[in-house]
Chains A and B, each alone.
Chain A
Amino acid sequence: MKTFIFGTLVEHKPGVLQKVSNMFRQRNFNIESITVGPTEREDVARMTITMKGEEEDAVQLEKQLRKLIDVLEVKLLDPSETVVRELALVKVRADDWRARSDLVNWANIFRSRIVDVSPDAIMIEITGAPSKIDAFLELMKRFELLEISRTGITAMERGLNRIGLK
């Protein structure tokens, strides 16, 4: 099984995410994450879709996406030419000073940021490739993890390559 990342442009209007995710469910695609957000054009939204599967699953997924009228453009992103990022918020119990100082150190090593401190807990914001976030979360298991929220992957090709509308 390989991981495939698709950048897609879709109509920016209600119901489109439902149609896309409905198709994935109906056709039994193994979707890891979908992220959506607005773009430089008011009437176009961008979805980044990450799936696991074989090469032919990826080919079929791309074709099925293209069939949806609300999907305007689909591009399978080449991992070596693409910046892939994810953001996570992690909340850890930190009610003694030793835990706090370890947390601060590790957060620095991972170049993450402490975004909230309360007497009992610390919230850390970390951005990076999913593997980096996985590694950080693995370390955080030494503490009492209270909450994790990951955004899912967003991605963009390097250089002048882009997903443009025809």
Chain B
Amino acid sequence: MLELSGSRALVKALEREGVSVIFGLPGGAIMPVYDALLDSGIRHILARHEQSAAHMADGYARASGRAGVCMATSGPGSTNLVTGIANAYMDSSPIVAFTGQVPRAMIGRDAFQEADIIGITSPITKYNYQVRSASEIPSVVKKAFLIATSGRPGPVLVDLPKDVQTEVAGMEFPDKVEVRGLSSPPDPDPELLGRAAELLAEADAPFILAGGGVRISNAHRELVRLAELLMAPVGTTLMGKGCIREDHPLSVGVIGMHGSPLANTLIVKADVLLAVGTRFADRTTCDADAFCKEAKIIHIDIDPAEIGKNKRVHIGIEGDARKALVGLIEELAKRLKGERSAHWYERIKQVKAKLQNEDGDGLSPPRLLKRLRRLLPDDAIVTTEVGQNQMWASLHFKAYGPRNFITSGGLGTMGFGFPAAIGAKVARPDVPVVDIAGDGSFQMTMNSLATSVSEGIPVIVVILNNRMLGMVAQWQRLFFRGRYSAVEIRPPDFVKIAEAYGAQGIRAESMEEFERAVKAALGSDVTTVIDVPINPEEDVFPMVPPGCKLEDMMGV
């Protein structure tokens, strides 16, 4: 048995988990861990606000498929993580957060920088735990990573009282731990797979809806194989964007409130809908009861609580998406005879050809994003902020891989995209990472420029600058008689902001300037902020008004 302090045991346990990077910000109650980190090969990336540290860990996790780690001190350090943890929880992203806590004897006495982070984060973590003795640390860390990454992934928080970090104890580092309350997902029921295959084989207009679960279980190849077997169109949720290359002939884009017109029109005409790894979020289904009302729905999900939660389905299959799709392909191959006809296929091609044009002129976001796609290599990673920028990106920037489009879907967190881009770049230093931003969102975490520059993590930020909180303004135009309330934000000079932080700032006022700026950014080894002034009153269309059905899509 090894005699170690809690903080040294923590660092050793992290090393044993293969952790190579931590995003964090120190403070009084976590100092022993920071001291121990000095003697470790683990890279620490210093955030300028803990929320960004959590988003960086999240971006890292989504880009790599491995758990991201963030760290903060007690009290305000830990509460600043909350938004980032909630964001990871909503999008099933595996992050492990470590927080300092006041010493054990002080807990509950409203000590300096004390916050009940266990109570606060219970509803937004898959699991959280306060360590009560140093000797627990090796197994707690192992359990934390196991819980965060297994089944449906999610955030785990480990709270470390300061005196536990300094306590010396005999440490045993287990190779395996058991968490008895963590049930492993069952193999998909072969009988249900058979019935699902039956339905799909008989379908006249099948449709496949792929969610984030397809990315998480690495089922994108199986997804495409199944679609090709069925000759069925594939739409995705925002979380599933890129699971089928969006230039694939069967890809129709993202479904939902700001879904692609093609996807939204085709899905409502489906007679059999196969939904994989999606929770039928309200931004995807819009009016959930009316959603695909006439269709027989097959739902595959690793989380049984999602089956029947938001939408009643005909066949619910619990299990890993990849395993289920493999099984379904086998069952289908037995049943399908001859060539599949695809009467709608010509129509898809026509509509797609029309949508592809960079029509119009000036710096409209759809044009800019289509141009950006052409300028970036296929394997570039794009993150987005939240609001109009995000929906334009969803509609007009084609993703070519399951981990190439990173966005805050469930929580809708403004300020996510930039730190997430930094995290993604750390995970994938070999590819360019671009944050498609709005001027409102970017201001929420733009202090991460300091991290990006000083840690040498170059990313590209494209600000679609409409000097507005654009999505709120759009809703005020559409649903509040055009009365603007608190949306005109007069942003600062982003070029100067970038320069002040030691980054490169470029303003692009024409398509040519934009193209030059992106090329300059791609060739640069420092973070570049490209500020693109756009029309302040441009709407994102199409749109399904809140409370309406997908069929009520307007602005097509």
Contacts and interface: CB of A to CB of B under 8 A. Distances in A.
Interface of A: 11, 15, 18-19, 22-23, 26, 56, 59-60, 63-64, 66-72, 165
A69 B308 contact: no
Contact of A26 (B123, B130, B182, B305): B123
Interface of B: 118-119, 122-123, 126-127, 130, 147, 179-183, 303-305, 308-309
A79 B180 CA distance: 28
Given A60-B305, A165-B180, A69 B123 contact: no
Nearest to B127: A69
Nearest to A22: B122
B181 A11 contact: yes
A69 to B, nearest CB: 4
A72 B122 contact: no
A18 B128 CA distance: 12
B118 A15 contact: yes
13 contacts: A15-B118, A18-B119, A19-B122, A22-B123, A60-B305, A66-B183, A66-B305, A67-B303, A67-B305, A69-B126, A69-B147, A69-B181, A72-B181
A56 B179 contact: no
A70 B181 CA distance: 6
A69 B179 contact: yes
A72 B305 CA distance: 16
Contacts of B119: 18
A62 B180 CA distance: 17
A66 B151 CA distance: 13
Given A69-B181, A72-B180, A60 B122 contact: no
Nearest to B307: A63
B142 to A, nearest CB: 14
A17 to B, nearest CB: 11
A56 B118 CA distance: 30
Contacts of A72: 180-181
A91 B182 CA distance: 45
Contact of A59 (B123, B147, B180, B308): B308
Nearest to A72: B181
Contact of A64 (B130, B183, B305): B305
A69 B180 CA distance: 8
Cβ-closest 6 pairs across A and B? A63-B305, A69-B181, A69-B127, A26-B123, A22-B122, A72-B181
A26 B86 CA distance: 14
A67 B309 CA distance: 14
Given A15-B118, A69-B126, A56 B308 contact: yes
Given A18-B119, A69-B127, A63 B304 contact: yes
A8 to B, nearest CB: 11
A76 B260 CA distance: 43
Nearest to A70: B181
Contacts of A23: 123
A91 B494 CA distance: 72
Could you say which of B122, B179, B304, B309 has the most chain A C-beta atoms within 10 Å of its C-beta? Answer: B122
Given A56-B308, A63-B304, A71 B118 contact: no
Contacts of A59: 308
B305 A71 contact: no
B96 to A, nearest CB: 14
A19 to B, nearest CB: 5
Contacts of B182: 69
Contacts of A19: 122
A27 B182 CA distance: 21
Contacts of B179: 69
A18 B129 CA distance: 13
B308 A60 contact: yes
Nearest to A61: B305
B279 to A, nearest CB: 13
A70 to B, nearest CB: 6
B138 to A, nearest CB: 18
Nearest to B318: A63
B177 to A, nearest CB: 12
A68 B123 CA distance: 10
